[in-house]
Structure 1
Amino acid sequence: MFCIPITEHSQVAAARRAAIHLARQAGLNDTDTGRAALVATEAATNLVKHASSGQLLMRSLDGAGIELLALDRGPGMRFIGECLRDGYSTTGSLGIGLGAITRLAAMWDIYSVPGKGTALLAWVREGQRSGALPAPESGRVPTLEIGAICWPMPGEDVSGDAWACELRPGRGLLVVADGLGHGPGAAEAAQLAVQVVRAHPTGEPTALLGLMHGALRHTRGAAVAVVEVDLGRQQVTFAGVGNIAGTLITAAKPHPFISQNGIVGHHVRKIQAVNAPWTAEAILILHSDGLAGRWNLGAYPGLNTRHASLIAGVLYRDFTRGRDDVTVLVVKQQSGSR
């Protein structure tokens, strides 16, 4: 993942170069790499023009493609539809930046609140363009939508956090791990926990935590949460050790999950799973302690209807502590399959 701070025009070029590098790593051809570069350029330019400062986050998607997420705390947009129209500008420019992004992207979504800022999401995928977030369709097999941000603490080159998801028809298996401390040693422990899930994609959360406890014995250990979302049974199963926070948000109220005390790889008294009902409108949020726990999704009207990546981005923007590795993982039922 790249996280490019955008505070002035010279950093737009850095964002463009990072997008090109990531697109080539993701296997995109020259045409699609060019689209990625243009999307990054327009998004970064908008941050400078309209928000004065912000961040552009980029990561590879499974398969050929990259995700770009532009975050700011600027003035926001009162009329998003107008802002998408070519020729509309509040700064005297040509007013084609946001419209160009929506035409170039395979999928895009946006969340903006006047006075609080904007989050813009765009995917660039091989051979795909001009695709807004799909409208709900009836009769589709339910699938899960994933949004994630994982970034090291300031001054570190690698994050001591890690996350992964294994998606199968009707089921999702998710893990967030926070290695003890920071730097390469923490990253080793967190990555080993993730590798256990990768190696056992059909495993159950408690069994997987047991396997991790053995695999991490020679490391400094980690806090880990493993979650299974079973769409067929409409059930969430959570098992955690340490300080990974998990919250299931439904129409009724937020339901926090409780992890057991301990450090995976060193001392774990017991591993216990907790079940909760899953609904089509539910949102699952997992995060490490690099994110402050005082967030309230209800304070962001309409955000629960947006893409999972936008939810993760807004929480990261507004609640990252800035002195620790941070991971935010958001899971919801895909917009087109509710």
Structure 2
Amino acid sequence: MPEPVALPILESSQAGEARRIAVAFANQLGFNETDRGKVSIVVSELTKNLVRYARNGQLLLQAKVLNSIALIEILALDSGPGMSSISECLRDGFSTGGTLGNGLGACQRLSNFFDIYSVTNGGTAILSHIWATSYDSPPPEDRLKIGGVCLPVRGEDVSGDAWAVEQQEDRSLLLVADGLGHGPQAAIASNEAVRIFRENTHKSPKEIIEAAHGALRSTRGAVIAIAEIDFRSASVRFAGIGNISAAVISPDANYSMVSHNGTVGHEVRKIQEFVYQWPKGGLLVMHSDGLGTQWHLERYAGLVSKHPCLIAGVLYRDFTRGRDDVTVLAAK
């Protein structure tokens, strides 16, 4: 599966390159000619808008598997003027730039899932999912909707961060791991953490980290956090080692979750689980230290109601440090 990429879109030549990369993604995932065409059109339209209207535009491309269906996730981000009316911008024939005005409406029609978050003078985030297989109706959804951004620091081909999710009938487990440093050796550590996680999803967060501590001894080590959401008891069981941040946001209360210092695979003094309430309508956000911690979602009117992919994308856009790998995982 192709590695996620973040492409700056500041001029028309970059828009053309983004389209070529997106079609290459689709080829690797086995998209047929019709669906490759959809990917090409959506990326072309979104990047044209980034060049024409936006500031600091970028396009994130990520391959995912949802209920055994391969898909391409396209996330267009900018810090431009925003949209005063999303519904008007989606209407065919509407344009503020003298064009035919069919772009966003066409993107919505060609996407299996499409969503926009935009604030006047606060930028825009546009999400498109295009599946490798056409279905008359959407596949069944899991209990949690998941969105994640995981990207390497500039100059590296692979991220030293990783994330994983296991969804079961009554519980969901979520992992974020950050291998020490960055580059291929950090990726080996974080991917080993993911392997141990997937082999031990019947266990508690504490037990999984204990297993990872032994398995990662031959690597440079990683910081790890695991959250288990139990839907029957409406609780979150959390264990973390190192500086992976985690918080639960809800209409009634927000709270951060506690990790202990250390490096899994090297020095761990204490692995401890903490139990928190999982509120109705709750949102879980976990991220590596490639993202700043000064974010406050209440400053983004309406964002928590959007798809977690948009939430993760907006946080990445506004708070990435730019000097390390970055992962943002959102679930609700």
**TM-score normalised according to structure 1 size:** 0.93
2:96 aligned partner, one-letter code:
T
Match of 1:33 in 2: 36
One of 60, 63, 68 as aligned partner of 1:57: 60
Check whether the contact 2:250–2:280 (CA below 8 A) recurs between aligned residues. no
Tell me by how many angstroms 1:130 deviates. Answer: 10
CA distance in 2 between counterparts of 1:303 and 1:186 reads 32
Q: 1:258 to 1:235 in 2, by over 3 A?
A: same
Match of 1:277 in 2: 277
Larger mean Cα displacement after TM superposition, 270-279 or 284-293: 270-279
Matched, 1:208 2:212: no
CA distance in 1 between counterparts of 2:11 and 2:101 reads 19
**TM-score normalised according to structure 2 size:** 0.94
Larger mean Cα displacement after TM superposition, 231-240 or 69-78: 231-240
Deviations 1:290-309 (A, max 9, x none): 00000000000000000000
Match of 1:74 in 2: 80
Check whether the contact 1:142–1:170 (CA below 8 A) recurs between aligned residues. no
Deviations 1:72-127 (A, max 9, x none): 00000011110000110000011111000000000111000000100000000134
Tell me by how many angstroms 1:24 deviates. Answer: 1.9
CA distance in 1 between counterparts of 2:92 and 2:285 reads 36
CA distance in 1 between counterparts of 2:137 and 2:329 reads 24
Match of 2:293 in 1: 293
Deviations 1:197-235 (A, max 9, x none): 122222210000000000000111110001111222211
What's the secondary structure of 1:173's corresponding residue? strand
CA distance in 1 between counterparts of 2:198 and 2:39 reads 29
CA distance in 2 between counterparts of 1:154 and 1:126 reads 29
Check whether the contact 2:149–2:316 (CA below 8 A) recurs between aligned residues. yes
Tell me by how many angstroms 1:56 deviates. Answer: 0.6
Check whether the contact 1:106–1:131 (CA below 8 A) recurs between aligned residues. no
Larger mean Cα displacement after TM superposition, 28-37 or 281-290: 28-37
Deviations 1:134-155 (A, max 9, x none): xxxxxx9971000000111122
Tell me by how many angstroms 1:159 deviates. Answer: 1.0
Check whether the contact 2:55–2:79 (CA below 8 A) recurs between aligned residues. no
Check whether the contact 1:108–1:131 (CA below 8 A) recurs between aligned residues. no
Deviations 1:259-301 (A, max 9, x none): 0111000111111111111123100000000000000000000
Check whether the contact 2:221–2:263 (CA below 8 A) recurs between aligned residues. yes
Tell me by how many angstroms 1:131 deviates. Answer: 9.1
Match of 1:248 in 2: 248
Check whether the contact 1:157–1:183 (CA below 8 A) recurs between aligned residues. yes
Matched, 1:16 2:19: yes
Check whether the contact 1:105–1:131 (CA below 8 A) recurs between aligned residues. no
Q: 1:307 to 1:141 in 2, by over 3 A?
A: closer
List runs of 5+ in structure 2 lacking aligned partners: none
Match of 2:110 in 1: 104
Match of 1:45 in 2: 48
One of 101, 119, 126 as aligned partner of 2:125: 119
CA distance in 2 between counterparts of 1:216 and 1:126 reads 35
Match of 1:335 in 2: none
Deviations 1:11-50 (A, max 9, x none): 1111111111111222222211111111111111111111
What's the secondary structure of 2:40's corresponding residue? helix
Tell me by how many angstroms 1:183 deviates. Answer: 1.2
1:283 aligned partner, one-letter code:
L
Instruction: Quote the sequence identity (%).
Output: 50
List runs of 5+ in structure 1 lacking aligned partners: 133-139, 333-338
2:38 aligned partner, one-letter code:
R
Tell me by how many angstroms 1:190 deviates. Answer: 0.7
2:101 aligned partner, one-letter code:
G
2:47 aligned partner, one-letter code:
A
Matched, 1:5 2:11: no
CA distance in 1 between counterparts of 2:137 and 2:299 reads 28
CA distance in 2 between counterparts of 1:253 and 1:148 reads 23
Larger mean Cα displacement after TM superposition, 16-25 or 266-275: 16-25
Check whether the contact 2:250–2:281 (CA below 8 A) recurs between aligned residues. yes
